[in-house]
Amino acid sequence: MNWRVEVAVQTPAHAALGDLLSYSGERTLLAGTLVRVPLGKREVLGVVWGSRPMAEEDAALEFKPLGTALDTLAPLGEAWRDLVAFAARYYQRSLGEIALAALPPQLRDLSGVQLARRLKRQGSAPVVDAGAAGPSAAAAATSDEQADALRRIDAEPGPFLLFGSTGSGKTEVYLQAVAALLARSPAAQALVMVPEINLTPQLEARFRARFEGRFGAGAVVSLHSGMTNPQRLASWLAAHAGTARIVLGTRMAVFASMPALALIVVDEEHDPSYKQQEGARYSARDLAVWRGRREGAKVILGSATPSLESWHQSRPPEGDDPGGRYLRLAMPSRIGAGALPAVRLVDMRLQPSKTVLSGVLLDAIGQRIARGEQSMVFLNRRGYAPVLACGDCGWKSECPHCSAFRVFHKIDRTLRCHHCGFTERVPRACPACGNPDIAPVGRGTERLEEHLGELFASVQRPDGSPVRIARIDADSTRKQGALESQLAAVHAGEVDVLVGTQMIAKGHDFRRITLVAAVNPDGALFSSDFRAPERLFSLLMQSAGRAGRDAAYLAAQGTTAEMWIQTQHTDHPLFIALRRHDYPAFAESELAQRRAAGMPPFAFQALLRADARTQEAAQAFLNAASAAADALEGAQQVARYPAVPLAIQRVANVERAQMLVESASRAALQRLLAQWQPVLHGLRRTPEGKGVIRWLVDVDPQQI
């Protein structure tokens, strides 16, 4: 008997081939089985979604035969397939695109024989019984707040929003919640997610220290894009087989195949890094909540500054309002740390023109150096200067391929575009007029590091040695192992002043830093992006949390922790709330404004984006799509705004435009988007689609 097998494959973008392709097979295959199938002139990996005997109506059709089934690997479970199907449906992508992107890249290239050999070599690490435990780090004593949070996590279904101040011991709650889960069930698995790769190693070290002695060396694995393909495959296979009890990872880990998943932790849940910005633009945080509900796993979202969506979802019942879907657990007190840093605002309107670092801030940093303490200076702009300019003719270092400036990097004397990557050596003279006196305009972390070095060149540390200044940003940490070595130097006290971007502002447990300074945060106060104030408050509060994390050290030094902010708007409500470390007040104020303006979380949005050879072609496609949507069912429930260029409208010689789509009903928005897909595919073949390179739908966009 021949079987018709439905397979999800990664079809070319906008091919409009449908979610599943049909092949003929000589035997039935379980849903979730990996198979190699022909697609055009290639053979690709696919996931079986279902199969049935060939019917009479199938006889007139020609089906390509299935290739090899990789049936030495256990099929991907129903819950995993449901997650993939939901993500594809909600984020308006093809089933195969989501399914294959969720698998480790090396798996796509292995034959059945190679996979079988790999599985045999990897073996199955037995779970080590607690009675045969080796040495492992002991759990820390819990505060009353931590104990109450753990009790409620154990007793109630969740999802939970763990709202804990910086240094309140959220990580210890995660560790003990995972330990309780693994102790109850011999097969249970936990997924712990962090927003960025650079936070994974230190979290991984804590989890390994706590659990490997009890459950064996393979009990904790990592999944993130910084790993090699063989490493990712090994971790994925261990999670899929159930031998890995704990998976630590970034947003991609939300799709890890974990057959016994019972707990999901999303640390720093507010972080925009959880939203994918290329390809399938999914939110790993939101998918984690959906996955927890589908698989009956408890979900803990943790943050000192929760996203306004999560804060709103965790509101308690009041009057006619039944409250949100999340249970809020508060931990306002710091564990083993001093009081939250005192926030000091420096009014830059009172400083001399072009002042970079005010005298009072420099004096405060100098006092810390004299006492052997560490300071951190935060500036969210890498490079030496954002632009190089000629004072005679007005030439600026524009990128020839983007509507943006190339950033001047002094260390390697290059002009580098941070959008398309185009790099050139710095010219000896102005390319337009020949003036040799071209100069940097503005300031990045590289220039700030140099400036601090000049200011403290004559200052000595308590032992008479010169002041040590270090920089951590995407440029200084490019080489393998650079970030780890630089962080180790900070922890060892080998750095007096640390300069960096947001890479250093969150998640790190710097015990000797007693002063944190934000140099130029005002740009986000008046941004066109309505989420900018929320992100700024979060970033500054997270930055402040790096200071004064060791109460014993503060007491020994006889000092207090401080957060300095240089601003021209000292009376702005955001800074007033920040001085009080009052996130609830800031959140309620922002939510009131969003409610009045009809913005998320009180409305639901999507962006339709088009990339084309010209801006006119991109906008013509979007306008035609908007006009075609008028005929769709329920279109009157969804507002469609005029097409506009993106803030940086040209990248790598491609013009970009977008159209905002918004509705008070999530269901109405989803219905329209689903009906719109075939219309958009059809538009590509009309005159309005000429010149359009690609289009995409971004559901719940984080950047507008």
DSSP 293-361: HHHT-EEEEEESS--HHHHHHTPPPBTTB---SSEEEEE-SPSSS-SPPEEEEEEGGGSPTT-SS-HHH
Range with the poorest average pLDDT among 1-15, 251-265, 268-282, 515-529: 1-15
Indicate the SS3 state at residue 240: helix
pLDDT of residue 136: 59
Give the pLDDT mean for 148-175. 92
Least confident of 2-6, 361-365, 514-518: 2-6
Cis amide linkage into residue 601, ω under 30° from 0: yes
Paired strand residues for 424: 415
Q: What are phi and psi of 404, to 5 degrees?
A: -155, 165
pLDDT at 326: 96
Label residue 106 by pLDDT band (50, 70, 90).
Answer: very high
Q: What pLDDT is stored for residue 133 in this prediction?
A: 47
Closest CA to 299 of 343, 342, 254: 254
* Cα–Cα nearest to 385, from 228, 520, 550: 520
Nearest to 549 by CA among 153, 171, 196: 171
Listed residue (659, 619, 617) closest to 638, CA to CA: 659
The answer to whether the CB of 103 falls within 8 A of the CB of 236 is yes
With a cut of 70, say whether residue 253 has pLDDT above it: yes
pLDDT over 60 (residue 174): yes
Dihedral class, residue 304 (left if φ above 0, else alpha if ψ from -120 to 50, else beta) = alpha
The count of other CB atoms within 10 Å of the CB of residue 436 is: 9
Question: pLDDT band for position 293 (50/70/90)?
Answer: very high
Greater pLDDT, 528 or 37: 37
- If you average pLDDT over residues 284-302, what whole number do you get? 97
Please compute the mean of the pLDDT values over residues 19-23 and round it to a whole number: 87
The CA distance from 147 to 333, in Å, is 13
Q: Is the peptide bond before 600 cis (omega within 30 degrees of 0)?
A: no
Beta carbons of 603 and 637 less than 8 angstroms apart: no
**Confidence band (pLDDT; 50, 70, 90) for 325?**
very high
Which residues share a beta bridge with 415?
408, 424
Residue 338 pLDDT > 90, yes or no?
A: no
Q: Is the pLDDT of residue 13 over 70?
A: no
| Token output for 472 | 């951590």
Task: Tell me the HSE value of 574 on the side-chain side, using a 13 A CA sphere.
Answer: 21
Lowest mean per-residue pLDDT among 335-339, 373-377, 642-646: 335-339
Give dist(CA 675, CA 631) in Å, integer.
10
- Confidence band (pLDDT; 50, 70, 90) for 647? confident
The CA distance from 190 to 298, in Å, is 10
Strands (E) located in 512-653:
513-518, 562-567, 604-612, 639-640, 644-651
Average pLDDT over the chain reads 89
The DSSP letter of residue 398 is B
User: Any idea which residue has 């097979």 for tokens?
Assistant: 25
Pairwise CA distance, residues 358 & 293, whole Å: 51
Predicted local distance difference test score (pLDDT) of residue 369:
93
**Residue 129: pLDDT above 80?**
no
The model's confidence at residue 408, banded by pLDDT at 50, 70 and 90, is confident
338: nearest Cα among 563, 518, 502, 582:
563
Q: Is the pLDDT assigned to residue 122 strictly greater than 80?
A: no
Helix (H/G/I), strand (E/B), else coil: 389: strand
**Per-residue tokens: 77:** 């479970």
Q: What value does the mean pLDDT take over residues 327-356?
A: 87
The phi and psi torsions of 203 (rounded to 5 degrees) equal -70, -40
Average pLDDT of the segment spanning 105-111: 88
pTM: 0.89
The residue to which tokens 């630590």 are assigned: 248
In this model, does residue 337 exceed pLDDT 70? Answer: no
Q: Which two tokens stand for residue 478?
A: 């490019």
pLDDT above 70 for 613:
yes
* pLDDT tens, position by position, 657-686: 999 999 999 999 999 999 999 999 889 888
pLDDT digits (tens, 9 = 90+) for 567-594: 999 999 999 999 999 999 999 999 999 9
* 134 pLDDT above the threshold of 80: no
The reported pLDDT for the residue numbered 123 is: 65
